[in-house]
């Protein structure tokens, strides 16, 4: 069912496109050798080029170009073997050159497409218009002094990929899923770290509304939204604002707005510029960017397996689409899963068992401690050891859960914990029979009820026997002995 917003005069459809600014993962900037590390002291990572000193010439960073091409390949997009850098002219205190080196008419990457999966399991294709490279501006800080603004040029010249979508997004959910998918792809590729809290990825959200089936109406751009949740909220808030204007007889003016996360509303920032306002022209200091198809093919050959392909492979292993989705959201989780699963072509553990333990018990312990998967004190080899002890019936599932908790607390291996604490599963039929006999003798009333036809009591006897054995009885053998001793209910 398509998403619409009910206004006072009828239904409205949301039309949305995103411009995602992804910081290129590189050690130095797009046109200078200055470092790009996050959190450095203000103005400590600034070259003469970044500071706009007269006579300083930009030099293209080849790795940034390669990262953009890798991203384009990951977006199933056309790679343009000839592209050009342009100057985008505007004036602000944190833009020392008085222009931004960007790409306008001839971007490095052309049209592409990504698929997003929505909450109901449906898949939608979102078109990519282009990916172009540009340098970031510096940062103005207005809260450090009562009468002055401070300028930090550490970000000045940092390489950005601007990934522009088609206006194919029709709901807040689709906007959030699209941003999450771009973040996922770039993190798998290693072309952007996706740390939205650090500003490595942010989105400009273009929103308009229309009656279903109408032509597009005027759009507004909500700038610099830095989380998936806030993008979804911004789409909803801006769409409702525009609906109120149209329904009251007004006209939406094209403008740039900001999203107020505290109040959940958008507010005006400035009237929206058009391309001619920036006076684009080819950068005279940089020749056109030209490379060969062979170079592109070499990069393509080194790309990692992307999330869609990996998810399909996991489903082929017998996992549900949901489990495959959860395991591939972050590359680190998929890497952990595969390490526990074992090498392809060798002896592999059961994929469903590994997935259940990873997404259930391991994730639960990590969430409780506020840890990411790569910070887990229980690594893939340690979890594999635990699952092997369960598979060879050294311990049962209940004991395995207890052992995992001790592993997280103490950092010891599963086998060592099992031996130290005497947790090995009892498979001695004689010992199990003795425990069952004692349970049946102590619960004669329940035995009579069971034999009278109350079949549901069987689970009670299993629980009592396991309790008597400290949880160490082999469940299958316990069931087998109980059935032999009790007979059929009502029998």
Per-residue pLDDT of the chain (491 residues; tens, 9 = 90+): 689 999 999 999 999 999 999 999 999 999 999 999 999 999 999 999 999 999 999 999 999 999 999 999 999 999 999 999 999 999 989 999 999 999 999 999 999 999 999 988 889 999 999 999 999 999 999 888 999 999 999 999 999 999 999 999 999 999 999 999 999 999 999 999 999 989 899 999 999 999 998 999 999 999 999 999 999 999 999 999 999 999 999 999 999 999 999 999 999 987 766 666 889 999 999 999 999 999 999 999 999 999 999 999 999 999 999 999 999 999 999 999 999 999 876 778 999 999 999 999 999 999 999 999 999 999 999 999 999 998 888 888 888 999 999 999 998 999 999 888 777 765 556 767 777 778 787 887 777 777 767 777 788 887 888 787 777 777 777 777 777 777 777 66
Q: Report d(CA 403, CA 445) in Å as an integer.
A: 36
CATH number (domain holding residue 461): 1.10.10.410
CA 420 to each of CA 152, 159, 254, 406, 466: distance values in angstroms, whole numbers, following the listed order = 57, 55, 70, 12, 21
Q: Residue 327 falls within a domain, yes or no? A: yes
Closest CA to 128 of 88, 73, 201, 187: 73
Task: Please give the pLDDT value at position 331.
Answer: 93
Q: Which residue has the tokens 């809260």?
A: 143
Q: Which of the listed residues 387, 420, 453 is the one where a domain comes to its end? A: 420
Q: Residue 67 falls within a domain, yes or no? A: yes
Neighbours of 445 (CB within 10 A): 7
Residues 283 and 377 in one domain: no
Residues 404 and 436 in one domain: no
Q: Residue 472 falls within a domain, yes or no? A: yes
Task: Please give the pLDDT value at position 273.
Answer: 63
Sign of CA dihedral 461, 462, 463, 467: positive
Residues 353 and 461 in one domain: no
Task: Please give the pLDDT value at position 13.
Answer: 97
Q: Report d(CA 238, CA 223) in Å as an integer.
A: 12
Residues 84 and 206 in one domain: yes
Residues 108 and 75 in one domain: yes
E strands along 26-94, which residues? 82-83, 86-89
Task: Please give the pLDDT value at position 250.
Answer: 95
Q: Residue 321 falls within a domain, yes or no? A: yes
Neighbours of 278 (CB within 10 A): 17
Rounding to the nearest 10 degrees, give the CA dihedral for residues 189, 35, 90, 93.
140
Tell me, rounded to whole angstroms, the distance of Cα 34 from its chain centroid: 29
Contacts 24+ apart (CB under 8 A), 369-373: 369/408, 372/332, 373/330, 373/332, 373/333, 373/336
Q: Which of the listed residues 369, 386, 420 is the one where a domain comes to its end? A: 420
Residues 82 and 106 in one domain: yes
Q: What is the pTM of this model?
A: 0.84
How many domains are there within the chain?
3
Task: Please give the pLDDT value at position 490.
Answer: 64
Q: Residue 300 falls within a domain, yes or no? A: no
Residues 287 and 365 in one domain: no
Residues 278 and 367 in one domain: no
Q: Report d(CA 358, CA 245) in Å as an integer.
A: 49
Residue 390 DSSP class: H
Q: Residue 136 falls within a domain, yes or no? A: yes
Q: Which of the listed residues 420, 445, 461 is the one where a domain comes to its end? A: 420
Q: Residue 491 falls within a domain, yes or no? A: no
Task: Please give the pLDDT value at position 344.
Answer: 79
Domain range for 223 is 4-295
Residues 179 and 273 in one domain: yes
Q: Report d(CA 131, CA 112) in Å as an integer.
A: 9
Residues 335 and 396 in one domain: yes
Residues 157 and 59 in one domain: yes
Residues 153 and 81 in one domain: yes
Q: Report d(CA 217, CA 137) in Å as an integer.
A: 31
Q: Report d(CA 41, CA 279) in Å as an integer.
A: 34
Q: Residue 189 falls within a domain, yes or no? A: yes
Closest CA to 48 of 59, 62, 61, 37: 59
């Amino acid at each position: 069912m398509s998403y619409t917003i009910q206004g006072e005069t009828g239904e409205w459809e949301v039309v949305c496109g995103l411009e995602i600014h992804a910081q290129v993962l590189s050690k130095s900037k797009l046109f200078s050798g200055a470092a790009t590390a996050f959190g450095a002291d203000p103005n400590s990572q600034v070259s003469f080029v970044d500071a706009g000193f007269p006579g300083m010439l930009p030099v293209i960073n080849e790795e940034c170009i390669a990262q953009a091409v890798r991203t384009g390949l990951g977006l199933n997009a056309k790679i343009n073997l000839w592209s050009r850098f342009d100057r985008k002219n505007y004036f602000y205190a944190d833009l020392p050159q008085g222009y931004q080196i960007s790409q306008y008419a001839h971007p490095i990457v052309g049209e592409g497409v990504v698929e997003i999966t929505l909450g109901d399991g449906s898949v939608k294709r979102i078109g990519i218009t282009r990916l172009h490279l540009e340098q970031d501006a510096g940062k103005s800080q207005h809260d450090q002094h009562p009468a002055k603004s401070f300028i930090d040029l550490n970000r000045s010249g940092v390489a950005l990929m601007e990934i522009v979508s088609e206006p194919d997004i029709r709901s807040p959910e689709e906007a959030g899923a699209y941003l999450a998918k771009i973040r996922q792809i770039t993190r798998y590729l290693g072309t952007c770290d996706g740390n939205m809290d650090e500003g490595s990825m942010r989105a400009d959200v273009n929103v308009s509304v229309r009656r279903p089936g109408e032509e597009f109406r005027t759009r507004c751009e909500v700038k610099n939204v830095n989380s998936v949740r806030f993008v979804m909220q911004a789409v909803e808030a801006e769409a409702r604002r525009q609906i109120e204007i149209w329904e009251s007889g007004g006209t939406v003016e094209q403008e740039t707005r900001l999203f107020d996360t505290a109040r959940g509303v958008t507010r005006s920032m400035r009237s929206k510029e058009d391309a001619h306002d920036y006076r684009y022209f080819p950068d005279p200091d940089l020749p056109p960017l030209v490379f060969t198809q062979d170079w592109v093919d070499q990069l393509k050959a080194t790309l990692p397996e992307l999330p869609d392909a990996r998810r399909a492979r996991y489903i082929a292993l017998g996992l549900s689409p949901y489990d495959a989705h959860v395991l591939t959201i972050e590359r680190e989780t998929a890497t952990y899963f595969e390490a526990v699963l074992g090498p392809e072509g060798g002896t592999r553990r059961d994929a469903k068992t590994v997935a259940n333990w990873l997404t259930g018990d391991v994730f639960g312990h990590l969430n409780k401690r506020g840890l990411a998967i790569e910070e887990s004190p229980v690594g893939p080899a340690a979890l594999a050891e635990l699952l092997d002890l369960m598979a060879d019936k050294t311990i049962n599932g209940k004991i395995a859960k207890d052992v995992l908790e001790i592993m997280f607390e103490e950092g010891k291996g599963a086998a060592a914990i099992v031996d130290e604490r005497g947790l090995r599963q009892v498979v001695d039929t004689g010992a199990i029979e003795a425990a069952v006999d004692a349970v049946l003798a102590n619960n004669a009333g329940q035995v009579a009820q069971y034999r009278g036809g109350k079949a549901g009591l069987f689970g009670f006897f299993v629980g009592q026997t396991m309790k008597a054995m400290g949880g160490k009885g082999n469940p299958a053998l316990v069931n087998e002995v109980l059935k032999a001793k009790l007979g059929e209910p009502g029998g």
